[in-house]
Structure 1
């Protein structure tokens, strides 16, 4: 399968106004091992999102926030974003504490919980659990998630692990994992637990989870990966679902890590009340591109 990743760089300030600049293209077979790949449940391949790029300048969080708000106001539905660059120390959030229905991004939380539980018991995931985990993350298999949510102790088990991970706004649903609530800020906290040596998770467990997130199905290359440059490593998990009892329209979320020379981004974009899945994916990709692109071109 061939895929084109196109990133349009806008020559302007953090507002994203002032169109035209550079076009970066990556054309070739989709690569594995975390190099611009994706995650969650099978949708058409996507275009890259607009990003802001220019010579290094002081980071203007206020201007970026204004730009993100202006964009989201023009879109149907709601959205929130949180991002941090582990290399530069820059962080940015807009509606980052807002609560959104998780859909399948909670599958990362389920697996992290299970890995932590097994670690504390002094054992590893069983062969069966590893097989289910691969299907749950790489393929976003819901039956596998059902089984592992049960193994983890359902909502109470995940909630206990989340206290260890430092999550603050996440509310695991008692039995139906996809109905759980979370925030972009909490998703970045969870990603930090996968990327940091200070995590309660041992290095082997962190690498295992990120490895699965970096080897998802080719057709799931959408979401925060739209903000990646060719050759950068991407590990991510996406989630989408039509919502009936907790809102309207579609919940569309994407969380992940983009790492390359000079940068190591942890980013989460969550959205809700999207009239269609396509609309939500476009919003998530554009917001990811705006934020990551601006942070690339800024200095602390």
Structure 2
């Protein structure tokens, strides 16, 4: 796992509407890039739009798929990945429609659904709801998630929110949010709605991503392994031993990696891992493998 540095930054002004007082400590890498030797913040030629201009050959999705499948074949458990680069339009998926127990990545869906409900009522979150939201996303507090799931209307409420968000492969359990089923493709759809023009307004979208950019340092694993020096990461991970819906550990990671040349939305889900460590290794390697190839 790459060493990470928590850097202080002011939250977006939208947080004043959806979550006043939030100060972001964005997850950022502070090491020279081992692949290129470039220090954080270094850029190449600048294009007309002000971003670095990089020549890229077409993405060889067939070769990447073969590589990902070969890796999965020698790993315990099962996994799926979906990634999109909003800057280049590149995308890649392998077992992206596979269904996995959601565990705590469902908390992003819960908060998004609650914000949609409050938006419909033309009001923001209460102070107590903001406090619960911070605990749920930053600390992955399950009791906070229980309370906000109830405020969101439980499974039926999130199901209605997901219909508006375009999530077609997520099945929220009525009361046990962590037992919900989802897919990497649906998780990228959720991230896309937060990063772009989804039904949730800009203040709500930026609030969710702001919280995802401030998770506790010890929970900043997962898709962050694919980040390069100086890039910002907003993520949410999920991990739980599974008993009634299979066996082993479910380990999931979803997030956004933003840099001068790329804007990646990534979701990696895994199940039937013998240990949590096995699952984390699989998720991080798959995220890094796919994103690194999409950069070329």
TM-score for the superposition, normalised by structure 2: 0.85
SS in 1 for 2:7: coil
- SS of the counterpart of 1:252? strand
1:51 and 1:293 in contact (8 A); partners too:
no
Q: Is the 8 A contact 1:36 1:231 kept in 2?
A: no
CA contact (8 A) 1:252 1:270 kept: yes
The residue that corresponds to 2:229 in the other structure is 230
3-state SS in 1 of match to 2:214? coil
Q: Deviations over 1:244-268 (max 9, x none)?
A: 0101100000000000011000000
Q: Number of residue pairs matched?
A: 261
**Counterpart check, 1:112 vs 2:107:** no
Distance 1:162 1:37, change over 3 A: farther
SS in 2 for 1:58: coil
SS in 2 for 1:290: helix
Give, in whole Å, the separation in 2 of the partners of 1:186 and 1:51: 31
Which residue does the alignment assign to 1:133?
Answer: 133
- Is 1:63 the counterpart of 2:68 in the alignment? no
Q: Is the 8 A contact 1:37 1:214 kept in 2?
A: no
Q: In structure 2, which of residues 2, 17, 23 is the aligned counterpart of residue 5 of structure 1?
A: 2
1:36 aligns with 2:30: no
> Which residue number corresponds to residue 172 of structure 1?
172
Partner of 1:275: 274
CA deviations 1:215-238 (Å, max 9, x no partner) are: 010111200000001110100000
Structure ranking higher on relative contact order (CA contacts 8 Å, 6+ apart): 1
Counterpart position of 1:286 = 285
Partner of 2:161: 161
- Tell me which residue corresponds to 1:265: 264
Measured after TM superposition, the shift of residue 34 of structure 1 is 5.8
Which runs of at least 4 in structure 1 moved beyond 6 Å after TM superposition?
none
Partner secondary structure for residue 123 of structure 2: coil
8 Å CA contact 1:35, 1:231 repeated in 2: no
CA-atom RMSD, angstroms?
A: 2.0
Ranges in structure 1 where 5+ consecutive residues have no aligned partner? 7-25, 39-49
Query: 2:79 is matched with which residue?
Result: 79
Residues 51 and 59 from structure 1, CA distance in 2 versus in 1: closer, same or farther, beyond 3 angstroms?
Answer: farther
Give the aligned partner of residue 103 of structure 2: 103
Q: Which runs of 5+ in 2 are unaligned?
A: 9-23, 37-53
Q: Deviations over 1:31-87 (max 9, x none)?
A: 35364369xxxxxxxxxxx989x9832210010001000000100000000000000
User: For 1:117, what is the secondary structure of its paired residue?
Assistant: helix
Q: Write the distance in 2 (CA, Å) between the matches of 1:56 and 1:159.
A: 40
SS in 2 for 1:148: helix
Question: If the length of structure 1 is used for normalisation, what is the TM-score?
Answer: 0.83
Given that 1:228 and 1:258 are in contact with CA atoms closer than 8 Å, whether structure 2 keeps it comes out as yes
Which residue pairs with 1:122 in the alignment? 122
